[in-house]
Structure 1
Amino acid sequence: MYIKASERTGKASSEPRGGRQIVFLDLIRFTAALLVLAFHVGFRSFPKTPEGWHTVIGRYARLGWVGVPIFFVLSGFVIAYSAGKASPSEFVKSRLLRLYPAVWICSTITLVLQIFTTGYYHGLLHAWLDALTLAPVGPIIDGSYWTLRVEMSFYLLIFLLLVFDRFRYIGPTMVTVSALSTAFLALGYAVDHALLKAGGFIPSIPDFLINSRWARLLLIDYAPHFAIGVLLWLMFFHGVTIFRSCALAFCFLGAVLSVRVEWQEVVQSSKEPSSLMLCILIWAAAVLAIVLSVRYNKAIVEWLGPERTKQARTLGLITYPLYLLHQSIGEHFVQRLNGRIPDIAIMLLAAAASMALAYGVVRYAEKPIQERLRRLLHPVRPPVSVSTLP
């Protein structure tokens, strides 16, 4: 993952240890995508049986949703790192180049695949058009796309800080947003606990608000994850302070509550039990891996060598289209092969097909569109000729 050091806030290191690429962040991103793939393909895509959701692979695949909050922590770190040196227009252009070409390609593939698989197209065209623009509301063409709306909300917050020249306050801003999120999460937890203790079955008002579309757009569900990423960036490249250390601990608590809310939603919707503690440990291990990746980047780069470092970068690049494509591809494989071959074989085939197609998007389809979009966003103006004649 290539990132640019900030020059806006305090004294920042000009380069991470080992150069501009923090290699292991790419591998963490790829692993998070595989976790989500396992959840959707190995757990959610299969029909539920009387014995439960696939006791063989579902026991492990049901934990894969934890990949989503891991993505949000990574996003907080990387976006803060890259935005610090950018102007508002540069930040917007970089996000357009990164997000839109892949989503145009992948949403079109998903549209064709869903029509081919189901023979149903009513409503899909509307969802496809919304995907092309990354509209914050409206139908989504694939279940994975909801996280892009959360990401766009975070990007909007960063953009506003840049526009008003307040990026130096990114730390306090994210802590404030995280505090509001944590208050909602804690209130929802307290009310749910009280209802459960009283034997009630009415969902709590805070929980309803937390799980609403607008709550997600306002980062109420996930602000602590983004805040942790931002605070880690600040602590690594602008120094450890008492405020940042205390804020990190506070946001960590909020993130744990966020994981708990998502865990409860998955358990209630699937009617399948899973370990909350294991979900928290997986997420915490990923955060620790991010810290170690930055801290020991130079040693990791030297250990991997140029060739494997390049391969790690490729895995990081295919993560985005892999995330966008895997669910529709997985559902197609399950629908065609369920009951004919073992479930684990279906999941492996779906994973291989998703990765191959994602690589094709990055290698052949995305770059030409990015180049055309880059020329549109950065037009080359001819030099102005100045006449010396009177």
Structure 2
Amino acid sequence: MLNAPTPTEPRSTSGTPVRREGRLAALDGLRLVAALLVVLYHYVGTPQSHIWERENRAVFGRLFDFANYGYLGVQMFFVISGFVICMSCWDRNLKDFFVSRVTRLYPMYWVAIVVSFAVVHFNRSVALDSGVIRAPTTLSDLLVNFTMAQDALWVPSVDAVYWTLWAEARFYLLFAIVVAFGLTYRRVLAFASLWLIAAVITNHLDIALLDQVVQPIYAPYFILGILLYLIHRFGSTPLLWGLVGVAFLLAQHQVLLDTRHFNQFLGVHMKWTLAMVLFGGFLAVVAATALGWLRWANWKWLTIAGVMTYPLYLLHQDIGVITIRRLKGQIEPWALLPIMIAGMLVLAYLGHRLVEKPFAPRLKKLLKASMNFDTPSKIVPRGERGGGVGKPAEPTARDGETGTSARMFPAVDQDGPEPVGVVDASRPGRG
């Protein structure tokens, strides 16, 4: 693998260099599809909850049977995350990577914590009676949530679906190792391959530290996204498609284990074959996007859908469930459901416009200024570097700032919502 030819720039099948940079609107649309699947799962597909007047199964019938599969929205988004993180940080250094992740994730997350906590706090009896919502019981738990590391500390999340943020964060930390050395075809290919091997080896070792780092349950999904981005950027090769096949085989086995787990946990009767039709169809669309077959799908509304996904994920569960319980009996369920989904989409759009758009650039500016180590901070004595008393030192080049650090292509920041999730208590385990 390491001796394979290393492309230096994207090429078409004819060998002609091509530039595939630019926002991929189809991925934005897929993000929203994954998010809506999770929303539908939480509002309709969880029979153990008491959101509506009767059990979800009795209220929605066949829609309930389909909504059970909404848990796959998590896996779908992990695939997209692997793809877009590669695309967003290619030709960027570690500082840029860190700044982009912090500014993308935290502003809306901090606001969502405050809003969700307030809604649950003032509707506590309704929230706890829903069977879905669990609220932090102490101020300490609430404060830990602002770090996004509450899952690592066994502290309850303000909203149970936030557990996927920790899975995403661990992926970023692992991928940051490659970013620190500089992303190249060989390095990313080696990273994906070694991670795939590590996921297989550590899956049944039951070593907590390795589980936290390697994430054997979720690794195949992230890796699928990474490999498909390499195909998008450098073109198809037998090696890349072979690794995609291996990752897919591991992913389908995990889907089987997840289906069995959810059948037992939820008391439903999902079929692995139908789950794979849904997941496989989604993956085929991502592959078609990687190959450039969906370049024609460049409608503006898809981009808008993409930026709404992260706020939708953060806000939909607790606020939505409490609102449904407040309105049940006043509006028929089949009418209230689309009203709630539309309302959550509007709320998500407002979150993007009023929080992400104005505050993320300001936070990015502050972080970059605080991390600008190129500005000398000391006074150089007379005679050194030809300066006099009080003359600042002349900046010098540091390792890694010249030569190969020049960018071939402008960076593309198609950062996603990062994750979408299902309730923490229903996390699939390993077989």
Query: Who is 1:35 aligned against?
Result: 37
| Aligned partners of 2:263 and 2:270 also within 8 Å | yes
1:172 is aligned to 190
Greater share of helix residues, 1 or 2? 1
Aligned residues of 1:228 and 1:252 also touching (Cα < 8 A): yes
The letter of the residue matching 2:10 is: A
1:271-350 equivalences in 2 (<5 Å):
271-294=267-290, 295-301=292-298, 309-350=299-340
Q: CA deviation at 1:383?
A: 9.6
C-alpha displacement of 1:36 = 0.5
Q: Following the alignment from structure 1 to structure 2, what is the Cα–Cα distance between the partners of residues 171 and 337?
A: 51
- Matching residue within 357, 376, 392 for 1:367: 357
Q: Residue 233 of structure 2 aligns with which residue?
A: 237
How many residues are paired up? 352
Contact 1:41 1:350 in 2 (8 A): no
C-alpha change, 1:53 and 1:248, in structure 2 (3 Å) is farther
Q: Does 1:129 align with 2:127?
A: no
Q: Which SS does the other structure have where 1:378 is aligned?
A: helix
Q: Which runs of 5+ in 2 are unaligned?
A: 1-5, 12-16, 129-134, 377-385, 392-431
Q: 1:159 to 1:53 in 2, by over 3 A?
A: farther
In 2, Cα distance between equivalents of 1:54 and 1:270: 16
- Post-superposition Cα deviations, 1:248-291, rounded to whole Å, max 9, x if no partner, equal 11100011112122222221111111122111111111111112
Whole-Å separation in 2 of the counterparts to 1:160 and 1:24:
29
> Take 1:86 and 1:117, find their aligned partners in 2: how far apart are those partners?
45
Computing the radius of gyration from Cα coordinates, the structure with the larger value is 2
2:260 corresponds to 1:264: yes
Aligned counterpart in structure 1 of residue 159 of structure 2, from 142, 161, 177: 142
Tell me, yes or no, if the aligned pair for 1:9 and 1:238 is still in contact at 8 Å.
yes
Task: From the superposition, tell whether residues 10 and 278 of structure 1 become closer, same or farther in structure 2 (CA, over 3 Å).
Answer: same
TM-superposed CA distance for 1:352, in Å, is 1.7
| Partner SS for 1:300 | coil
The 3 A distance-change label for structure 1 pair 273 and 127 is farther
Where 2:188 maps in the other structure, the secondary structure is helix
CA distance in 1, matches of 2:78, 2:56: 34
Shift of 1:310: 2.5
TM-score by length of 1: 0.80
Per the TM alignment, residue 296 of structure 1 is displaced from its structure 2 partner at its CA by 2.2
**CA deviation after TM superposition for structure 1 residue 9, in Å:** 6.9
Whether the 8 Å CA contact 1:149–1:217 is kept in 2: the answer is no
CA RMSD of superposed structures (Å): 3.2
Deviations 1:132-176 (A, max 9, x none): 211152321112111111111110111112224475422222223
* 1:24 alignment counterpart: 26
Distance 1:73 1:50, change over 3 A: closer
Q: Which residue of 1 aligns with 2:50?
A: 47
Cα pair 1:178 1:254 within 8 Å, conserved: no
TM-score, normalised via structure 2 length: 0.73
C-alpha distance after superposition, 1:42-73 (max 9, x if no partner): 12284296795645231121111111100000
Mean CA deviation greater in 338-347 or 375-384 = 375-384
Per-residue deviation, residues 62-115 of structure 1 (Å, max 9, x unmatched): 111111100000011111122221101110101111111111111111111111
Cα distance change of structure 1 residues 251 and 281 upon mapping to structure 2, 3 Å threshold: same
Report the AA paired with residue 284 of structure 1. Answer: G
The code of the aligned residue for 1:299 comes to W
Contact kept in structure 2, 1:36 and 1:67, CA below 8 Å: yes
Identity, in percent, stands at 27
Q: Which letter does structure 2 place at the counterpart of 1:233?
A: Y
Contact conserved, 2:136 with 2:158, CA < 8 A, in 1?
Answer: no
CA distance in 2, matches of 1:215, 1:388: 56
Q: Is the 8 A contact 2:44 2:60 kept in 1?
A: no
* Rounded Cα–Cα distance in structure 2 between residues aligned with 1:58 and 1:23: 30
